[in-house]
Every structure is written in C-alpha cells, then in structure tokens.
Structure 1
Amino acid sequence: MLPPGKIPPEKLKELVFSRLGAPGERVLIGADLGIDAAAIDFGDKVLVASTDPITGAEENIGFYAVHVNANDVATFGARPKWFLVSILLPEGSDERTLEQIMEDLHASASKLGIAIVGGHTEVTPGLKRPIVVGTMLGEVEKGKLVTSNGAKPGDAIILTKWAGLEGTSIIASERSEELEREFGKDFVERAKSFIDMISVVEDALTASEVGVHAMHDPTEGGIANGLHEMADAAGLGFAVYADKIPIRDETRRICEFYGLTPLALISSGALMISAPGEKAGKVVAALMEKGINASVVGEFVKDPERRVLIENGEERPLERPESDELWKVL
C-alpha cells in the first residue's frame, strides 16, 4: 500500500517515469526525480509549466493553489504569467464555497500579475473536502533558464525564510481551537500569518539575477525531502548543519506539541538555492536587501550516498521522509 503524500522515488521510476508518452522534440526539461516543472523551447523564450494539487488544506485553498504553483515556475528563473485551475468540490457544497475559492484565486493571481486562463469545476462524489489542482505557465529568456538539476559539488545550499512555514500555517488554521487553549490566541494568529510568506517568486527572481545553479521550493516532506529531491536531480549528496537551518519559534512549539519533525513539515515559502561558493555571499546579500531572510545551511557534495545532517559536531544520515508530517495532524 502506498503511504499518504508524494509517491516514493522508486515507485515513480517504476510506475510513472516509464510511461510518459511520445518523446517531446522541444522539451528541454521533462519529468524526472526532483524536477517540479517542465521547460519547453519556444525560440528565444522558454515556456515553463508546473502543476500541483492542494490536498492538505481547506481554508485559503485558492491562495495556496496560486502560490505553490507560481513558486515552482519561479524556481526556473521564469516569471509566472498564466494559470489553469481545476476545482473539485465534495457533494453538499454550496455556492458560497465555490465563490470563496474563486475570490482567493482571483486575489492571489492579481497580486502576482497572473491571468487565470482556463480550467474545470465540478462536484465530485466521494470527496471529503475540496481539492484544487493548478497548472502554472511562465516564461524566461533562454539564456536565463535555471534548471532544478543544475547543482554542482561544492555549491553552497542557501535557504530563504524559515523551515515549515506552510505546515505551521495550515496546522494553526485547521487546529486553531486546540492550539489557542495551549498557546493563546496571539500565538495562533502569528502562526496563521505565516501564509503571507508563502510566495518565493521574488526570492527566486532575485537569486537568479545574481546567478545560481539550481533552485527548488521544498513542499511535501519539507526541507529534508527538498534536499533529497535536489540531490536526486543532480546526482549528488549533501551536508547540512542543523543549527544553521532557520526555524521559527511558533513552528518549533507546534511541532513539539504534536510530536512532529520540523524539517519534514511542508515548507512552501522557503526557497532552496544551489549557488557557486564564491557567489553565495552575494546571493544572500541581494535577498537580505529585499527584506528576505536567507542563510547558508550547508553544501552539496560529490558522493551521492553522503546525505547528512551535522548536529553538535556529529553527522548522521538525514533520512528521506516517507510522508509529510502534516498528515499526522490532519
């Protein structure tokens, strides 16, 4: 039986990547491990396309759908421009539910300058909560395309913002009454507000202007899974330092309360960047100048078997999460 969340890499290879239809003559980057978007040759421009569902949240689901998909496109150095969305509603949904989802989609897309150009809407038997599936399209000049599999040995790993932002916000929204009794209303409202930091479009476009080898937004499975995905895509290993990975106090306390691991909690809002060592300082400085928190947390290494977390001077394997920590709560 498959676990909740992302399909394990070995099953993707066996069941998915062996069945990808006809070869695409103009496909520059296609489906593979650790690859969150496709890149298609359009002459002097490259079309970047990504698709993602929102399945772990009900409140603000339209907001998440736009930003999560926009993030994937931006990690290729492309500006998100066009969005298609499928909205699946459970039986018994009323018009207000659909209206609110569309309001969230409209407001979020408008803020990023994105046009909603199509999609599908239906009431689907068997669903327990709404599901929104988005497909984002963007474009970038061919010479400025950043590939998610471009990390090099010795590259610095830079993390923007903080680990577990999206997961913290979702849990605070979905379990607000329980958390308010434990931590108080102000604490829960701060945790909910992490949703406001979910976009990495500015992070990615800022970093790509300085010059980086690869970027990736860690979604399901959090920072831990994101590191494995970037390493998978480039055929590398990594060494990261536990004390350098920034985690907000609200995330730590919520994770302690529910017995969760912060590094395996869905982390949209953070951006992982692979940058040449000599440019790492410039990338961090450019991000900080925009008011975006950024930290060098480790480096990629040549040995693909060495994937370690270093804590208190000792290193241990950083295991790939079987599923996101969010599912333990939801």
Structure 2
Amino acid sequence: MLPGKVPPEKLREIVFNHLGVEDERVLIGPSVGIDAAAIDFGGRVLIATSDPITGAEKGIGYYAVNVNANDVATMGARPRWFLVTILLPETAGEALLREIMDDIHRSAREIGVAVIGGHTEVTVGLERPIVLGTMLGEVEKGRLVHAGNAKPGDAVILTKGLAIEGTAIIAAEREEELRAAYGDDFVERAKSFLRKISVVKDAMVAMEVGVNAMHDPTEGGVANGLHEMAEASNLGFRVYGERFPIAEETRVICEHFNLDPLALISSGALLIAAPPERAKKVVDALRAEGITAEVIGEFLEEKKRVIVVDGEERPLPQPKTDELWKVV
C-alpha cells in the first residue's frame, strides 16, 4: 500500500469487520469519512478521536493537539481532554522531548484542553519522532453532527483555503531550498500557516447558525475530504475549481514542487454541508469572525463526483496518497 491513509476498500475488508463487541451506547462508530466516535452519556455525548502525526517533525506537538481537536469540533463538540503517546528515536535527546511537550502544553492551553495522560518512550527503529493523540470532547445530544449527514442540494462551504497544513509543513521541512528560491519573508509567511490549522472556531461558528455536516480534510487534501464526506453521506458532489480559495504561498510552493494543492494535506480548512437557504448566513457568520469562507459547490443525490473547470465538468478523482509524501 502507498504511504498515508489505508484505502477505503481495505478498511471495509480488513478493519471495519474486526471491531470487538457491539455496544448500544456507541451512537457513531468507525466508517469511511467519519473521524470520531460518539458515545451516549445520557443528555450529553462523548466524542473521541485518535490521530498520529507522521508527516512532520517541526511543530509536531502543535499539530498533534490541533489535528485531533479538529476532529472533535467537526462533530459539534468542544474539545476538552487530550491523551498523547510520544515515540522518540534512539538518537533523541531531552531537548526534543522538552520541545514537543512545550508545544503540546501551549497548544492545549490555547484551546482550553487538559492533557490527562498518555505514554512516552524511546522506540527502536524510528528515524524521527511520532506523536499519537487522542482527543475527547462533549456535546449536547441534540447538537451532534457528523460528516455523514450531508443532504442532496446542500451547499458545500470551504473555510480558509487549500493545503494549509501542507504549506506549513513543506515550508519548515524544505526551508533552505525555498529560502534560496523565494527569500526569507516568503518562507516565514508560509511557515506561519502552522498557526491556521485549528478549525475549532470555524466549527463552533458554523454550529451556531446551523449546518447538516462538517469534515476537516487532512491527508489527501480537500479532494479526499470531499470524497469522504460524499461516501459517508452516500451522495455525489459538484464543485467549481475557480471558487477554491488558495493562498499565494500555497500556490507558489505547489508549483515549485509540482504538487496538486487539492490533494495536499489540508488541516486548517473546514468542509461544511449547509442547507442552501442557510448557506449565505453561514458564510457571513464565518467572515464576520475573520474566517475566509466560500461556497464551492453542492452535494448531489446522483453519485457522480465532479469538478467544473473552464465550464467543463470532469471527474474529480479520489487521491490514492497525499502529495506531501513527494517532498518530505
């Protein structure tokens, strides 16, 4: 298999039919496009998610907290508690562990999350650190949403833009090459995209207006996120290429390394399915909070999944792997 997410057909064949006992309190369990579980606690629902950080080294603690918090927030829940497993290579010194924990501590405080446990070890065979996070949050039962609840005709809204996380990772990991080509100011701007990868605020603002589904596109970028949402909702989609917001730094980096920004890891963006009559209110509410938002298309009852470019409708393939792996 290629680096990155295991293909959906392999998840169905190998993973989703090996899930232990059934539990009636599990309201939402594992499925393609669903990034967190929901467990019934009476009037409230516990949301739980788990994600590793494997494609970055610099800022890995910050990524771990925020990527996991995003998955909780897209279920309509406020992230509250974080557990973290830190696997260090044998070459690591105390300074690396201290740096990772400092990042985790600051990031958790920024979004009001308590770090409640985990595990730390030096692991044989690793070339660089890996951080695996588990985030817990809670939401009132009537406010629970998930990526599989998009409806035919719903507007597809995208916040911030394409490949935010990918831009930050590549700027940090290929820093010297990019400085030589585009200068110090360009690289510093691109690296600062790290501070944009949280979608907790995006999700909370959208929830206040009222939406049907949310999903944060990570590996495989916005293209993969669209497919995951459509798969989870048993729908198709039509999106419009000229409507996708993309930062100049992202465009330049993708052109430099010959990458497709639609398929580059995109934590920091939020995909939202909103009833068409409510879409403008959602976009206006997000913009009022300083969050870029655009209606990029619509979900379809027909199962086709297409992008319109220069007036021509063409299939939008689901990425087999993330563009990031070409350069890091």
Indicate the TM-score class for this superposition, using the shorter chain for normalisation. Answer: over 0.9
CA distance in 2, matches of 1:111, 1:24: 34
1:57 aligns with 56
Task: Give yes or no for the alignment of 1:253 onto 2:256.
Answer: no
Question: For 1:33-76, what per-residue CA distance to the aligned partner results, in whole angstroms no more than 9, with x for missing partners?
Answer: 00000000000000000100000000000000000000000000
Amino acid in the other structure paired with 2:8: P
The aligned residue for residue 87 of structure 1 is 86
SS at match of 2:314: strand
Q: What is the percent sequence identity of the aligned residues?
A: 66
Q: Which residue of 2 aligns with 1:184?
A: 183
Q: Residue type matched to 2:237 in 1?
A: F
**Residue number in structure 1 paired with 2:169:** 170
Return the alpha-carbon distance in structure 2 between the equivalents of residues 75 and 277 of structure 1: 19
- CA distance in structure 2 between the partners assigned to 1:183 and 1:12 by the alignment: 41
2:279 aligned partner, one-letter code: A
Q: Paired residue for 2:20?
A: 21
Partners of 2:146 and 2:215 within 8 A in 1:
no
2:305 to 281, 304, 307: 307
Offset at 1:92?
1.6
How far apart are 1:79 and its partner, in Å?
Answer: 0.1
Q: Distance in 2 between matches of 1:114 and 1:251?
A: 30
Using the TM superposition, give the Cα deviation of residue 18 of structure 1 relative to its aligned residue in structure 2, in angstroms: 1.0
Supply the distance in 1 between the matched residues of 2:205 and 2:26 (Cα, whole angstroms): 26
- Taking the TM superposition and a 5 Å limit, the aligned residue runs for 1:9-48 are 9-48=8-47
**Residue 188 of structure 1, CA deviation:** 0.7
- 1:165 to partner: Cα distance: 0.4
Contact 2:40 2:46 in 1 (8 A): yes
1:116-131 equivalent positions in 2, closer than 5 A: 116-131=115-130
Match of 2:320 in 1: 322
1:108-147 equivalences under 5 Å are: 108-147=107-146
Structure 1 residue 303 displacement after superposition: 1.3
User: Distance between the aligned counterparts of 1:137 and 1:23, measured in 2?
Assistant: 21
Aligned to 1:68: 67
Residue 7 of structure 1 pairs with residue 1 of structure 2? no
Q: Give deviations 1:161-207, integer Å, cap 9, x for gaps.
A: 01100000000000000001111111111100111111000000110
Amino acid at match of 2:140: E
Amino acid corresponding to residue 13 of structure 1 in structure 2 = R
Helix, strand or coil at the partner of 2:149: coil
SS in 2 for 1:240: strand
In 2, Cα distance between equivalents of 1:178 and 1:245: 27
Q: Whole-Å Cα distance in 2 between the matches of residues 328 and 74 of structure 1?
A: 30
- What amino acid is aligned across from residue 34 of structure 1 in structure 2? G
- Contact 2:156/2:299 (8 A) holds in 1: yes
Letter in 1 for 2:255: E
Instruction: Tell me the TM-score normalized by structure 1.
Output: 0.99
CA contact (8 A) 2:84 2:118 kept: yes
In 2, Cα distance between the equivalents of 1:86 and 1:136?
12
C-alpha distance in 2 between matches for 1:24 and 1:54: 29
Question: C-alpha offsets along residues 214-265 of structure 1, whole Å, 9 cap, x if unaligned?
Answer: 0000000000000000000000000000000001111111111111000000
* Cα distance in 1 for residues equivalent to 2:327 and 2:41: 44
CA distance in 1, matches of 2:7, 2:146: 22
State the aligned residue count: 328
- Residue aligned with 2:133, SS: strand
Q: Residue 70 of structure 2 aligns to a residue in which SS?
A: helix
Q: Which runs of 5 or more residues in structure 1 are unaligned?
A: none
Following the alignment from structure 2 to structure 1, what is the Cα–Cα distance between the partners of residues 37 and 176? Answer: 41
Q: Distance in 1 between matches of 2:108 and 2:191?
A: 20
Partner amino acid, structure 1, of 2:312: E
SS at match of 1:149: helix
